[in-house]
Structures are given as C-alpha cells and as structure tokens.
A and B are shown apart, each in its own frame.
Chain A
Amino acid sequence: MSNANADRRPAGELEAAVMAALWAVEVPLTPGRVQTEIASGLARTTVSTILSRLYDKGIVGRRPQGRGYAYYPVQDAAGLTARRMHTELDRDRNSDRETVLARFVAQLKRDDEQLLRHLLEADER
C-alpha cells in the first residue's frame, strides 16, 4: 500500500493498526519502530501523531528514550475484567456464541491441521 493510500484510511483504522503493533511487540516502541511494525507504510510523523493521540486518551503509556519517547500499551483494571469476560465467553466456544460473534477461525477438526500445512507448503513452492 502506498503512503497516499494509507493516509486516506479512516483515523480509527490507523489507530487500531498502531495499537495492534504495540500489543504484538512486547517491548516499548519508538515511533520509528512502530512504523516498521505496521504494514500500511504510514509516514513517521503520522505515526507520532497517532501515538500522542492514544497517549492523550490514556490507552498507551510512554517513557523517555533517546530524544523522544517509547510507547507501550496500558493494561488497566478494565482490561482485567475484559479478560474475565473473555474466559466467560470462551466457555461456550463452538456452541451458540458463533451466531452473533463471528470468529476469525473456527476450531480445527482432526485432519484439518495436516491439510492446512499441506496447503501452505504447496502455496510456498
């Protein structure tokens, strides 16, 4: 995706991409590192702007590093309740829950794993 294309995406989607990168990498990231951790090819200044906006909202924390800041996701009390809620929902995994909440991937059947690996290998060849 080109820069121009990425910058045209809705602000919410960019925030989500930046946040996902922070959660995926388990150490605090400078805007420069965040930029390499997201696929959308955003300008560094855009990344910085998004990060400070997230910091203002209190979703990310930061600490000084070098001449700027390194950012990390904040695990708040609400996050812990969310985790409990998730375990709750997880209990009826594969039952009715799927009706309203479409999961990304369903539980694999017995032979699915092998089949998937074959598909991926065949594709890479």
Chain B
Amino acid sequence: MTVLLLIPLLLPFVTPLLARRALDRLAPVTALWTLTAAALVLAGACVAALGCLVLTGLLKVPAFAALGELVHPLRTPSDYAVLPAAAIATGLLTIGAWNLGRSALRQTRAFRTAHAEADRRPSAGDLCVIDAPHPDAYALPGRPHRIVVTTAMLRSLGPDERDALFAHERAHNRGGHHYFLAAAELAAHCHPALRAARAVIRLAAERAADEAAAAAVGDRRLLARAIARAALAGQAASSTRPDFAPAATAGPVPQRVAALLTIPAGHTRWWVCRAALLLAACATLSATAVATGAVTFHHEVEIAQGEEPR
C-alpha cells in the first residue's frame, strides 16, 4: 500500500519535460487544456496520497486507534517506515495548505482592489486606462470583462499594435484563461515539481491568447512586433534591472515572439502527440495508484476494526 502511495508523489517529477514537449507540439489551446487537466489530476492524487499516509500514521498512535474503533493493530509494512513517512506527509500538507491559503488571500485581495477601482471609472467600452509611467497591460476578468492598460503602454505602441494588444487581452477574457491560471497555481502548491508545470501553463495561456489575437487582427507578425515592443519598452522603463540568474533557456516573451514569427506548422492532434499521451498516462497511473492505495488502506482499517476477517 505504502509503495502505491509513493507513485503519485514521484510522478510529478517527470511532468516539466513532458509539459514543455506537449506545448511545442500541440495547438496552444489544446495544450492549455491538456496540461491543466494533467496538473490538476496529479496534484489531487498527490494530496490524496499524502492524506492516506497521514491517516496511516495517526491510526498507529494508540489514542487515535481507539478513536477509530480499531480492535486490532493496523497492519502496515513496518513502523520504522510508516511513522516517519506520516510525519513528513503531515509537514508537507501543512506547508502546502499554508502557502495556498496565503496565495489565495493575496490573489483575492488584489483582484478585489482591481475591480473596485475599475468599477469606479467610467468605461470606454471594455478599456480601463491608467495614467502611469510604466508600460503594463492585463486582462481583468469579471462581469463585464475589462482590459487594463497604462498610458505608457499605449504610447509605446503604434495604432495597429494597440489593436493587437487589445485583441490579445480580449482573448484571455473570452477564453476564461484566469481559471486555468488559478488551477495551475493550486497545483503548484500541491507538489514542488508542479511549479514548472505552472510556468508552462502560463506560457500556454499566453500562446493561446497570441494565436487568437493573431487570427483576429489577421497578422501574426504585427502581434509579434507589438509583444516585442511592449516588452522592450517595459525593460527601458524599469530603473532597476531585475536580478534574474542567467538562464539557459529564453524567457516566455522571446518564445512567444519566435512562435509568432515562424510559419505555423500543422499542429499535432493530441492523441498522436507522444508527450501528451505520456502526460495523460502519468495522470491516469497516478490516480489509479492512489485510488488502489486508498481502497487497500480502507480494507486494512476494516480488518483492524474487526469488521472483516483477517
């Protein structure tokens, strides 16, 4: 049983590589759905496995065993393995829950402030302009959906590039991308390896919005130019250069620009994309392992409760 419960904890480590591959092969929207679904299943399996380990450990403690109406001791491989595993699992769950709670709180607050302020302003269509010296733009989902843009951003783009930017932000809102981003955030707090998956999901959301916007304005190169110009303007405006460690791979912005500048190759269907299939297999394996583990655990508990013969 314990071995089965380790599978969901180890499988997320292979996802970063698979997620990247899948995003390269699939249409961005398909990749967004596939990656988010896989991340959620893997995260759920992870939490369930940790939960089972914690319960196993608890039922080893006489007081809790009595509370659980166990008449026989719970059969487990070895106390030396089970108790430390349960302790570690408790720690991991606590840290995860704490981080998730803090992040959710901060998110909600930022989101509320943004909405309160946008509500107070008269709107020109769905556009909310903020007079600020730093070029910035984001989609603000809600009822109604809005796009928030700073004057510095508007001034650093040409008329057609502004249209491309708006199309991109509207694509985010229309596609409900904030749900995917929130799901990715949730998953990232469940397992450290899923943080890399969160980064890929964010990139997939941007790519999906880019492609939708490119289709709307009918010009991929125009969108590429708008993105590049906005990014470079932001760079020039920031007085302190962010101290990132030099990375071997390019950041999300050049990747998006490069993808828009290349002629779109026909995207692979997900059922022929090996990375997507492997990802689906991982998620399935993870879910199956934890389900089997949980059923076995339940069975052991019933035996210990004397409800089933040994």
Interface residues of A (CB under 8 A from B): 1, 10-21, 23-24, 26, 37-40, 54, 57-59, 73, 75-76, 78-79, 81-83, 85-90, 92, 94, 96-113, 115-117, 119-120, 122-123
A89 to chain B, nearest CB (A): 6
Within the complex, which residue of B114, B124, B137 is in contact with A18, where a contact is CB–CB below 8 Å? B124
Within the complex, which residue of A14, A85, A100, A104 is in contact with B137, where a contact is CB–CB below 8 Å? A104
A97 near B131 (CB under 8 angstroms)? no
Q: In the complex, what distance in Å separates the CA atom of A102 from the CA atom of B205?
A: 8
Residues of A within 8 A of B147 (CB): 16
A82 near B149 (CB under 8 angstroms)? no
Per-position 1/0 for B231-252, Cβ under 8 A of A: 1101100100010101100111
Residues of B within 8 A of A97 (CB): 107, 110
Interface residues of B in 105-126 (CB under 8 A from A): 106-107, 110-111, 113-114, 116-118, 120-126
A109 near B151 (CB under 8 angstroms)? no
A105 near B230 (CB under 8 angstroms)? yes
Per-position 1/0 for B272-299, Cβ under 8 A of A: 0000000000000000000000000000
Among B125, B132, B150, B153, the most chain A Cβ lie within 10 Å of the Cβ of B125
Indicate if B37 sits at the interface (CB-CB under 8 A): no
Report the interface size class on chain B. 35 or more
B166 near A90 (CB under 8 angstroms)? no
A106 near B134 (CB under 8 angstroms)? no
B254 near A102 (CB under 8 angstroms)? no
A106 near B253 (CB under 8 angstroms)? yes
A28 to chain B, nearest CB (A): 15
Per-position 1/0 for B139-174, Cβ under 8 A of A: 111000001011101110111101101101110100
B97 to chain A, nearest CB (A): 16
A85 to chain B, nearest CB (A): 4
Q: In the complex, what distance in Å separates the CA atom of A57 from the CA atom of B127?
A: 14
Closest 10 CB pairs of A and B: A12-B125, A19-B124, A16-B127, A15-B125, A16-B125, A39-B160, A109-B251, A104-B137, A39-B159, A105-B231
A73 to chain B, nearest CB (A): 7
B160 nearest in chain A by CB position: A39
A69 to chain B, nearest CB (A): 17
Segment among B12-20, B21-29, B64-72, B181-189 that sits at the interface with chain A: B181-189
A100 near B154 (CB under 8 angstroms)? no
Q: In the complex, what distance in Å separates the CA atom of A115 from the CA atom of B88?
A: 43
B253 near A110 (CB under 8 angstroms)? no
A23-B154, A58-B122 in contact; A111/B246 too (CB < 8 A)?
yes
A96-B107, A100-B182, A119-B258 in contact; A89/B113 too (CB < 8 A)?
yes
Among B136, B137, B235, B253, the most chain A Cβ lie within 10 Å of the Cβ of B253
Residues of A within 8 A of B230 (CB): 104-105
B263 to chain A, nearest CB (A): 12
A105 nearest in chain B by CB position: B231
Residues of A within 8 A of B234 (CB): 105, 107-108
Residues of A within 8 A of B206 (CB): 102
Q: List 6 A-B contacts (CB under 8 A).
A: A1-B218, A13-B126, A15-B124, A82-B121, A102-B206, A112-B250
Within the complex, which residue of A81, A92, A107, A116 is in contact with B106, where a contact is CB–CB below 8 Å? A92
A19 near B127 (CB under 8 angstroms)? yes
A86 near B250 (CB under 8 angstroms)? no
B154 near A16 (CB under 8 angstroms)? no
Indicate if B304 sits at the interface (CB-CB under 8 A): no
B262 to chain A, nearest CB (A): 10
Residues of B within 8 A of A90 (CB): 134, 136
Residues of A within 8 A of B124 (CB): 15-16, 18-19, 54, 57, 59
Q: A106-B251, A115-B250 are in contact. List 10 more A-B contacts (CB 8 A).
A: A17-B163, A79-B129, A85-B114, A101-B139, A103-B136, A104-B169, A106-B231, A106-B253, A119-B228, A122-B261
B106 near A102 (CB under 8 angstroms)? no
